[in-house]
Amino acid sequence: MANKDLKTTVQDNVIWRSIFRPGSIYRKGYRDTSRDRALASMNNVLYHLHPVKVKRHGLKLTYTYCLGGLSFFLFILLTVTGIFLMFFYTPAAGAGTELAYLNMRELSASVTFGQLVRNLHRWGAHAMVFTVFLHMARVFYHGAYKPPREFNWVVGVILLLLTLLLSFTGYLLPWDQLALWAVTVGTNMMGYTPVFGDQVQFVLLGGLEIGPSTLLRWYVLHVLFIPFVTVIFLAVHFWRIRKDGGISGPL
Amino acid sequence: MSDEVQIDQEVFDRLVAEGKSERIARAKAKAASVRKARAAEGVALGPRPAEQAATALEEFRSSQGGGGGVATKTAAPADAGGAAGGRLTPDQRAARVAASLGNGGGESASMGVPAASDHTHRLLALVPPAGIQQVQSKQMDKVYTWPHLLLVEFVALLAVGSLLLVMSFFLDAPLGSLANPNEVPAINKAPWYFMGLQELLRYFHPMVAGVTLPGVALVLLMAAPYVDKNPSARPENRKVANLAFTFFLTFWGILVIIGSFLRGAGYEWVWPWVQGLGFTL
Ligand code: HEM
């Protein structure tokens, strides 16, 4: 069979074998046996996230609803679409040179797939806030924060906070009326922090009111600082899930 | 340092004379002096016969009062007679697997052990008897990550991915007019996930609504696992916790809905079917 020959040709050579480790489902000779199923996990980069075997009840859609996994998927999707947007965006908003806003207009008018990617980024961001909320609720109702998972719940609350901050810092970037005033409402509240209110607001805004330096500041927070911190906490979150004995339950 | 291990000088000299490097000689000489000290204390060294594992386990049980699985002499397969080099014949292996499953046979390789069986699996690290560690966990009903879990994840990812793509195809993200600090829009709202706070702002001083209440909520949230000491995870045993959390979520949800949909120009109460929807995502 020509098909068979092609498969052998592709798989049976030095380069292919160097890429796919023994047990990989893409390697020549993978068989659907217990041994190879175990190796498929063990010899895969995913072994950092998944053990060889998982509790059967964890597979049921109604246990996790995939919410944690989907939050992570949305985070990845937002990173990819966000990088695309960065190619066409300048965080500048000086009077008369509001490049940020003009770039957003150009994005939909003259960039191939520009509007689509922006939509994906926008709706994906809202969806991620939503799935993270729901994930937290499902974890609570399963009592999945009980020992030994207490600390992972705390890590989770920090992740929730980081997700909100990511979303909120992104909200300002289009530099339209919606962005400016939504952020004004939000940051006014922070100005009421006891004792340090004015200082907090000054640091957040990079000045006394929202202006070009706020935009630059929030841009850096949005595309670099908060994602960086989030990735670190995600790593801890995933690592703890495994060290705490995998998914909780069954109830 | 006083408790630095001494070098057995005799061994060291001999090894150096044999042409070993000084580093190697020192390491071996240290090991030799440790061995000597142990022998003087009457501690047996070196590999031990497998029966001793069972004895050591018995010793551990009687001294620690621990329960535990049944000590099987798997370490020294006495029944290995037929197989070459101590390896099991396929029949022997099948018999052993069936025995460890606690029944005649699982349905497939990935089916694992029935959850109801009281079979335990034991991780036993054998160190000098005084330091035996016995780690036990209940054998659970498990399946292979590949293909079972990865398949589910992949499907979930495709479903949500395509949903978003379709939505993005038909619905454009909003872009208003250029930001103008001198012109407050009639409808002035935070993003939806902060609408609960903005709604609270109607009723409380900004410091309470914007700082105190969210701060307290956050601390309570983080403290939940430490406050809730109930060891059970079953819903019927934790009615209070579930009720409290449901109350919290509902309260928050209602605030967000009011703020998002029932507030309009000047943040006054509106009915969306009368004055229109004052809500932008
Ligand atoms: C960026 C946000 C987050 C991501 C990507 C994420 C991801 C995950 C994933 C993939 C799991 C595996 C099980 C599942 O899918 O349900 C998990 C479990 C868990 N998460 Fe999250 N999570 C996030 C936020 C949170 C939040 C906000 C909380 C709670 C406040 C939380 C607490 C937990 C706990 C306690 C577990 C263990 C649950 C169990 O063993 O059943 N996580 N998370």
Nearest to B191 among A168, A192, A250 (CB): A168
Residue B175 inside a domain? The answer is: no
Residue B248 inside a domain? The answer is: yes
Return phi, psi of residue A229, to 5°: -65, -40
* B96 lies in the same domain as B190: no
**Ligand 1 atom closest to A71 (CA):** 5
Task: Please report residues of A whose CB lies closer than 8 A to that of B112.
Answer: 53, 56
* B39 lies in the same domain as B122: yes
pLDDT at A33: 84
* B19 lies in the same domain as B85: yes
Report residue A249's pLDDT band, with 50, 70 and 90 as the boundaries. confident
- The pLDDT tens digits of the residues spanning A20-46 come to 988 888 888 888 888 888 888 888 888
Residue B158 inside a domain? The answer is: no
Q: Which of A76, A135, A164 to mutate to test the pocket of ligand 1 (most atoms within 8 A of CB)?
A: A135
Q: How far apart are CA A211 and CA B94, in angstroms?
A: 74
What is the helix (H) or strand (E) element at residue A11, kind and residue range?
helix A2-11
* B79 lies in the same domain as B13: yes
**Residue A190: CB within 6 Å of ligand 1?**
no
Q: For the beta carbon of residue B89, count every other beta carbon within 10 angstroms.
A: 13
A4 Cα to chain B: minimum distance (Å): 23
Each residue's pLDDT, cut to its tens digit, for chain B (281 residues) gives 446 678 888 899 999 999 988 888 988 998 888 888 888 888 777 776 777 777 877 877 776 655 445 444 444 444 444 444 556 778 877 777 777 665 554 444 444 555 555 666 666 655 655 555 555 666 778 889 988 899 999 999 999 999 999 999 999 999 999 999 899 988 888 899 999 999 999 999 888 888 899 999 999 999 999 999 998 889 999 999 999 999 999 999 999 999 999 998 888 898 988 887 888 88
Residue B245 inside a domain? The answer is: yes
* B26 lies in the same domain as B110: yes
* B122 lies in the same domain as B52: yes
Q: From the centroid of its chain, how far is CA B189?
A: 40
Interchain CB distance below 8 Å, B171 and A119: yes
Minimal-distance CA residue of chain A relative to B278: A178
Residue B267 inside a domain? The answer is: yes
Choice between A121 and A243, residue whose per-residue pLDDT is larger: A121
pLDDT at B133: 55
**Residue A139: CB within 6 Å of ligand 1?**
yes
Q: How far apart are CA B115 and CA B118, in angstroms?
A: 8
Nearest to A145 among B178, B225, B242 (CB): B225
A182 Cα to chain B: minimum distance (Å): 4
Tokens of B202: 């109607």
Count up the domains in chain B and report the number.
2
DSSP secondary structure string, B25-65? HHHHHHHHHHHHHHHHHT---S---THHHHHHHHHHHHHH-
Nearest to B142 among A54, A77, A175 (CB): A54
- Quote ipTM for the complex: 0.89
**Measuring CA to CA, which residue among A121, A168, A127, A44 is closest to residue B214?**
A168
Domain housing B30: 9-131
